Amino acid sequence: MKALNSAQHIVVAGLGVTGQACVRFLKTQGVAVSAWDTRDNLNIPESVDVPVTLGEPPQAFWSDVDMLILSPGINPQLPAVRFAADCGIEIIGDVELFARLNDIPAFGITGSNGKTTVTLLLTHILKENGKAVIEAGNVGTPVLDTLSMALDAIVLELSSFQLETTSSLKLQAAAILNISDDHLDRHGDMQRYLDAKQRIFQHCGTAVVWRGQAETRPTSPVNDIILYGLGSAESGFGYTNNWITFEGEPVVNMQHVQLVGSHNVLNIQAALAMATVAGISPEQAAAAVYRFTSAPHRCVEIASHRGIRWIDDSKATNVGATLAAIEGLGPSCSGNLILIAGGDAKGADVTALSAALNEHVSFVIALGRDGERIAALSPASAYVKSMSEAVALAYEKAGPGDIVLLSPACASLDMFDNYIHRAAVFAEAVKEVTADA
C-alpha cells in the first residue's frame, strides 16, 4: 500500500459509516484530520475523536485544508463544497483515495440494478475457487478498511455517488449492468447520471457489457470486451433452453440455480464474465453458482401459502429494478402476478412501468408518496395507506398459482427507516394473513 503525505490537513465530510471509516483510516496515516457534517444536531459517534464542525462551516474553516473527502451522501453541488473547490481544495471520495493507495487487483460493478447480487456472486465464485477476496464499497466492507488486508482480489460495488468523485480507479474488469432512471434528484438528468457511471471504465482492463443496452458500453478505451445477454450467442455469454452458454457451449443450468428470473440470468452472466478475467473458467465457476443464495430483499420468496408465492424485492428502489423483477417473473408465473409498489420515486418517470404492468401484472396495489401515480398506470389497481392494508388486499385477491410481489420501484424513506425495514413490515404482514395455515 502506498502512503499519504503526512503534512496534509484532510477534512472528512459526512459522519455516516463511510465517513467514520475515512476518519479511522486517516488517523493511521499520520495526517491532520478533522470532520464536517451538514447536520446541525448530530450525536457525534464516540469513535470519532477528531475536531468536528456541524452545519454550515465558516469560510475561514477552509483556510488550511488541503483535501476534502466527501461521503457519498454529500452532494458535490452544496454551496460549502463549491466554496471549498473555489478555494483550490482537492475534492475526492473514499473510493478515489482507495484507488490512489491500492495495489490489489480490483473488480468494479455498477448499474442501476443488480449491483449487489453480482458483487456478492462474484465474491462467492472467487472464494469457492481458492481466492482470498472481499466485497467492498457500496456493500460489505468500507473500501479503505481493505487496504490493510492480505487479499488476492477486491470486488467493488460502486454507486453513481461514489463514481462521480473518482478519477484514477484501476480495475481488472468493470461493468455497468444496466441504466434506468435513478437518483435524478441528485444528478439532474440522465446524461449526468450516465456520465458518473461511465467513470468506472476510465482505467479498466476488460469491460463486461450487456448486449441489450448501448449505454452500458464503455466510452473510454479498454483492452478487451466480454459480451453477455439473453438469446443464443457464439461468442461471449448467451442463454438458450434454460442454459447459460459460453462460446456457444452450455455451462450453467438455470433450473438448478436459486436465483430466479431472466434478470438474474444476466446477473449470473456478468459475474461469470468477471470471474474469467480473474482466471476462473466458466466450468469452474458453475459449481459455485449452484451453491449461491440470493442476498436478502432481492426477489426472494419469503412464504408460500395456499399455492400463493410471496416475493420480497424491497431492494427495488427504482423503476428499472421493478421492471427487471416483473419481466423476470411474469413470463414464468402460472397464475396472476399481483404487484405491491410505491414510495418516493426520487424524481423518476414512473410511467416507464406502464407496458410491463399491462403485459404481466393483473393487479397493482400502491402506497406511499408516489403510490397514486403508480396506481394510475393500471385500470386494475388500488391505493392503500399502509403495508398491512396492501398485504391484506393482496391476500384477498390472490389464488393458487399466483405471485404477490413487493417490488416498490421507489425509495422507502417516506414511510420506513430503509428498504430493510420495509421488507420486515411486509414479512410481518404476510405472516399475519397466512397465520390460518
- What CATH fold (topology level) applies to the domain 9-93? Rossmann fold (3.40.50)
Q: Evaluate whether 139 touches 116 at the Cβ level (below 8 Å).
A: yes
Residue 261 confidence (pLDDT) above 90: no
Q: Give CA 63 to chain center in angstroms.
A: 37
Mean pLDDT of 394-405: 96
What percentage of the chain carries pLDDT values higher than 90?
82
Residue 377 confidence (pLDDT) above 90: yes
What does the mean pLDDT of the chain come to? 93
**Residue 9 catalytic?**
no
Of 143-147, 223-227, 344-348, 413-417, the one with minimum mean pLDDT is 344-348
Start-to-end CA span in the chain (Å): 57
Q: Check residue 188 and give its pLDDT.
A: 59
Buried b (16+ CB within 10 A) or exposed e, 103-135: ebbbbbbbbbbbbbbbbbbbbbbbbbbebebbb
How far apart CA 326 and CA 61 sit, in angstroms, is 50
How far apart CA 407 and CA 324 sit, in angstroms, is 10
296 pLDDT band, cuts 50/70/90, is: confident
Q: Evaluate whether 377 touches 353 at the Cβ level (below 8 Å).
A: yes
Residue 129 confidence (pLDDT) above 80: yes
Helix (H) or strand (E) holding 57: none
Identify which has the larger pLDDT, 36 or 181. Answer: 36
* Dihedral-angle region of residue 342 (phi above 0 means left; psi in -120 to 50 means alpha; beta otherwise): left
Of 27-41, 176-190, 315-329, the one with minimum mean pLDDT is 176-190
How far apart CA 401 and CA 335 sit, in angstroms, is 5
220 pLDDT band, cuts 50/70/90, is: very high
Q: Which of 40-44, 138-142, 385-389 holds the top average pLDDT? A: 385-389
Q: What are the extents of the domains in the chain?
A: 9-93, 102-290, 300-433
Contacts of 54 (CB under 8 A, 6+ apart): 36, 37, 39, 40, 41, 42
Residue 184 confidence (pLDDT) above 80: no
Catalytic residue among 102, 138, 178, 318: 138
Q: Evaluate whether 116 touches 157 at the Cβ level (below 8 Å).
A: yes
Residue 437 confidence (pLDDT) above 60: no
Catalytic residue among 102, 113, 115, 297: 115
Mean pLDDT of 211-233: 96
Residue 186 confidence (pLDDT) above 60: no
On the CB side of 211, how many CA atoms lie within 13 Å of its CA? 14
Residue 429 confidence (pLDDT) above 60: yes
Residue 6 confidence (pLDDT) above 90: no
Q: Check residue 333 and give its pLDDT.
A: 83
102-290: CATH number: 3.40.1190.10
Mean pLDDT of 214-228: 96
Long-range contacts of 255-258 (CB under 8 A, 24+ apart): 256/290, 257/289, 257/290, 257/292, 258/292, 258/293, 258/294
7 pLDDT band, cuts 50/70/90, is: confident
Pick from 230, 316, 227, 212: nearest CA to 272 = 227
358 pLDDT band, cuts 50/70/90, is: very high
**Residue 115 catalytic?**
yes
pLDDT tens digits along 62-103: 999 999 999 988 889 899 999 999 999 999 999 999 999 999
Pick from 16, 45, 301, 46: nearest CA to 161 = 16
pLDDT tens digits along 263-289: 899 999 999 999 999 999 999 999 999
* 3-class DSSP state of 401: coil
Backbone angles phi, psi at 422, to 5 degrees: -60, -45
Residue 43: CB atoms within 10 Å: 7
pLDDT tens digits along 155-179: 999 999 999 999 999 999 999 999 9
Residue 35 confidence (pLDDT) above 60: yes
300-433: CATH number: 3.90.190.20
Catalytic residue among 124, 131, 183, 346: 183
- Fill in the amino acid letter for 389: E
**Residue 242 catalytic?**
no
